[in-house]
Structure 1
Amino acid sequence: MEKIKTDLLIIGAGSGGLSVAAGAAQMGADVVMLEGHKMGGDCLNYGCVPSKALLAAGKQAHAMETGQPFGVTPVMPEVSYAAAKDHVHNVIDTIAPMDSQERFEGFGVRVIREYGEFTSKDTVKAGDYEITARRIIVATGSGPFVPPIPGLEDTPYYTNENIFDLRDKPDHLLVIGGGPIGMEMAQAHRRLGSKVTVIEGAKALGKDDPEIAEIVLNRLRGEGVEVVEDAKAENITGTDGDITVETTNGTFKGTHLLVAVGRKVNVDKLNLEAAGVKYDRSGVKVGADLKSVTNKKVYAIGDAAGGLQFTHLAGYHAGIVVRSAVLGLPAKAKTDHIPWATYTDPEIAQVGLTEAQAIKKYGKMNVFVARYETDENDRAVAENAGHGLIKVMVVKGRPVGASIAGKHAGELIAMWAMAIANNMKMSAISATVLPYPTLSEINKRAASAYFSPKLFESDTVKRIVRFVQRWLP
């Protein structure tokens, strides 16, 4: 067995682990990385990248059917589901070199393609290697959670880890789970020609602002996606091409089944007990510095650290760890400025607090909700972009949250993420001059909705204006 001593040992070559490795190695640290499966992790191979590629294919098909408002005769697209999957894998293959073993070895990282498990507080065994490190970063990500529904283990089903390898278009896709993954895959498959039923035990898109979620759900239902809520799956039976899901709200039949009910953190096989690292089903227990609360030599980032599960959060965590473990600087992570998006059409985007969360935290009298209907935006009108809404929660002149439903909501949320991260005032948004006509003007109109009552409905302002007008030459 080869024994290795290093400055940093990173377990997992997903987004967070790769970011730490690149930064630390290029700054001069000795870095070893373990990856027992695919470089790039879930996001590249099974999550963010392939799902957006499949959504893009569905968008192209949908455009052929919806050209009438623009004077373009609608036609039924001839969809090759297998070719759409070829597009998905071409996208993965195009991006993969950025996450490749060769690239990171070029940075000076020693990449070992083995799974690892702790043998002590600072040592990990991986295949024929024993690695002792000054600091160890757990960046193992998460995988699909498969719920213990009776009959499921004896029934063929898909998760996000294998749905992108399916080559034959489902005639009728049953989706268990109405969260972001389930709804994205539902819309993509409906637009590519499948009948789709989403089965959700509570409320679809239940973590989003209800008013925002309803806009998207109405669009999906309008496109033919059946969304059944309050339907907890109780029993599943079937074979390839013939699946039955019995729920508390009816029985549903389809040809294929996708399970998309959530994520399970990948920490079970690390033998964290040997390192004295406290953890539970949500991940490693860490402080704001991302260090294990019970072993300060061990950090956890991204999904492995519990909390929000987003690729960009893992990248943010990586920056915290580089500052702490590589440069020895104090650094703490926070989450109130972390945005996220669901890439349905229209999209949903959120940063900070929702309306309900802001009212609960600050009190109803202290929260001003600035609203703007996005279909009043001239660019949205020109592109027939459909109904949308932005809500900005403001406390003492500063945004504490923003919720958007509409075209390119994932892009529009960037301004509010910047504002919250930098403690900016609403006046900074209203003072920004934006090109016309752009969707980004939606953000400025939301800021105007905050200031308008103060300017146009104030008796004090009106008295001042009348006084000024009398004295102006």
Structure 2
Amino acid sequence: MKSRVIECDVAIIGAGSAGLPAYREVVKAGLKPLLIEGGPHGTMCARVGCMPSKLLIAAAEAAAAIRHAPGFGIATAGGPRVDGVAVMDRVRRERDRFVGFVVDDVQAMPPEHRLDARVEFLRDGVLQSDQGHEIHASRIIVATGTQPVVPEIYQPLGELAIVNDDVFDWQDLPRSVLLIGSGVIGVELGLALARLGVRVRVLNRSDSFAHLADPAVREAAVAALAPELNLVRRAQVTAVARDGDQALVSWSAAGGPPMQERFDRVLLTAGRRSVLASLRLERTGLPLDDRGTPVIDPATLQVRGQPVFLAGDVTGRHAIQHEASDDGRVAGRNAAAWPDVRPQPRRAPMAVVFSNPQIMQVGGGYGAYDPDTMAIGTVDWARQGRSRVMLRNQGVLHVYMRRADQRFIGAEMVGPDAEHVAHLLAWALQMELTVPQMLQLPFYHPTIEEGIRTALRDAAKHAG
């Protein structure tokens, strides 16, 4: 088949949460883009990530609220009855609605701006599609995202071994699920399934939990959530076999006896890898690290010395939707301005786990903790007024302050409304506020936000 040549200023490989903002920046600059997508449109977030997971979590929260009602003196005889078919029907319908909005935006683009095809590099600046196109681009943005890892030990399970992408196409809820990994996906989906009546167990090979760095906050999160997850830490899966329509999994934990359980599904949440192998980067002059990933400047997202940029999850830096979108904007602006490539300002780091109680992190915080230069302020939600009123009084908040100038530098938390606390503290961090300045801000009574004030006051006591 004869190649058809397409000329463009900027080729963007991947039409997801990073690729779409990159496209908009290139268009804004008046250059000719080509947005290339080799898979389904709709972004990973809308199709198999942020949005469908929150739909499943919302159903689980409704069931949990009914079980929680007797604590207020409200009788709910028999508890909730979960209709798994109806739950998953709503998840799929609303998921498809969110995906539809993104697809509509893509289809509204000029046809000459987009190409639905898989591509690989022929050489520097030239891509080849599986449909016979040869694409010449003076600049290229790689925003191909990541894909779940399925370790070899689980291969014998066939379709019983699943990744989170598979969950949201279920027609009904399974009776039992083993989750491998207690990161964000494992915690969110594990709790949702457990609260919807699925028998759940989570195995994690280390003591980590939801990527929390502060050991006190991490242990508070484990204390609050591990019982529902049937969490086993420092667990090693020793054997996996298929027995009819169930998975038979053997495992052992540090110092414990060998265990074996049966599950309808095994959900693998312990890792993802960048989608790069199919691009044939070895045909280019791009500098690659020992994993085959292009070496980039994190401030500009440019591959060293090349008119090539990486954006989003493919960088391996921040697997978070708003960070991917910011990456897309940075890569798009710099690709459009190339060779005048400049560092772009970034927002304060923030991450949220939609468990209940919720988990959040703001800034680097505990990762750089030094007791000689930093102070920690604490609030125990068990004693905080509004959280007790709502019977949501679990967890702890730690705020981190630099002693020398009392600058607020981050926080970690498990507790009520952590998603909202995270935003307030991320705004304070980005504005470079000190703890005394934050204490001058208004706090309404009685609110969860008063707990922030308690933690800040505690930190202020330790000013250097």
TM-score, structure 2 length as denominator?
0.90
- What's the counterpart of residue 284 of structure 1? 294
Pairing 1:119–2:122 present: yes
Distance of aligned partners of 1:268 and 1:437 in 2 relative to their CA distance in 1, 3 Å threshold: same
- What's the counterpart of residue 152 of structure 2? 148
Question: Which of 112-121 and 417-426 deviates more?
Answer: 417-426
Deviation at 1:201, TM superposition (A): 1.3
CA distance in 2, matches of 1:125, 1:417: 43
- What's the counterpart of residue 94 of structure 1? 97
Distance of aligned partners of 1:27 and 1:111 in 2 relative to their CA distance in 1, 3 Å threshold: same
Deviation at 1:281, TM superposition (A): 3.7
Select 1:364's aligned residue among 371, 377, 389: 371
Distance of aligned partners of 1:390 and 1:444 in 2 relative to their CA distance in 1, 3 Å threshold: same
Deviation at 1:138, TM superposition (A): 0.5
Aligned length: 449
8 Å Cα contact 2:26/2:33 also seen in 1: yes
* Structure 2 gap ranges (5+): 254-258
CA distance in 2, matches of 1:70, 1:240: 45
CA distance in 2, matches of 1:379, 1:33: 49
Pairing 1:67–2:69 present: yes
Select 1:304's aligned residue among 311, 314, 322: 314
- What's the counterpart of residue 379 of structure 1? 386
Deviation at 1:137, TM superposition (A): 0.6
CA distance in 2, matches of 1:306, 1:334: 19
Give the SS at the match of 1:348: strand
8 Å Cα contact 1:399/1:425 also seen in 2: yes
RMSD value, Cα = 2.4
Give the SS at the match of 1:161: helix
Question: Which of 1 and 2 has higher RCO (CA within 8 Å, sep 6+)?
Answer: 2
Give the SS at the match of 2:152: coil
TM-score, structure 1 length as denominator?
0.88
Distance of aligned partners of 1:58 and 1:384 in 2 relative to their CA distance in 1, 3 Å threshold: same
Question: Which of 86-95 and 330-339 deviates more?
Answer: 330-339
8 Å Cα contact 1:349/1:404 also seen in 2: yes
Alignment of 1:19-58 (within 5 A): 19-58=21-60
Deviation at 1:327, TM superposition (A): 4.1
Deviations 1:51-102 (A, max 9, x none): 1111111111111111012232134212111221122222222222332254
CA distance in 1, matches of 2:66, 2:149: 36
Distance of aligned partners of 1:365 and 1:109 in 2 relative to their CA distance in 1, 3 Å threshold: farther
Question: Which of 64-73 and 104-113 deviates more?
Answer: 104-113
CA distance in 1, matches of 2:378, 2:18: 35
Alignment of 1:227-246 (within 5 A): 227-239=231-243, 241-246=245-250
Question: Which of 265-274 and 109-118 deviates more?
Answer: 109-118
8 Å Cα contact 2:400/2:459 also seen in 1: no
- What's the counterpart of residue 141 of structure 2? 137
Question: Which of 411-420 and 385-394 deviates more?
Answer: 411-420
- The residue identity in structure 2 corresponding to 1:117 is E
CA distance in 2, matches of 1:282, 1:430: 48
8 Å Cα contact 1:350/1:401 also seen in 2: yes
Give the SS at the match of 1:67: helix
- The residue identity in structure 2 corresponding to 1:226 is N
Deviation at 1:186, TM superposition (A): 1.0
Distance of aligned partners of 1:331 and 1:374 in 2 relative to their CA distance in 1, 3 Å threshold: farther
Deviation at 1:372, TM superposition (A): 1.3
Question: Which of 236-245 and 78-87 deviates more?
Answer: 236-245
Pairing 1:392–2:403 present: no
8 Å Cα contact 2:384/2:393 also seen in 1: no
- What's the counterpart of residue 269 of structure 2? 260
CA distance in 2, matches of 1:70, 1:161: 38
8 Å Cα contact 1:264/1:281 also seen in 2: no
- % identity of equivalent residues: 25
- The residue identity in structure 2 corresponding to 1:338 is P
CA distance in 1, matches of 2:260, 2:108: 53
CA distance in 2, matches of 1:113, 1:220: 43
Alignment of 1:165-314 (within 5 A): 165-205=169-209, 207-208=211-212, 209-222=214-227, 224-239=228-243, 241-249=245-253, 250-277=259-286, 278-281=288-291, 283-288=293-298, 289-293=300-304, 296-314=306-324
Deviation at 1:282, TM superposition (A): 7.8
* Structure 1 gap ranges (5+): 459-473
Distance of aligned partners of 1:287 and 1:269 in 2 relative to their CA distance in 1, 3 Å threshold: same
Question: Which of 426-435 and 55-64 deviates more?
Answer: 426-435
CA distance in 2, matches of 1:452, 1:109: 62
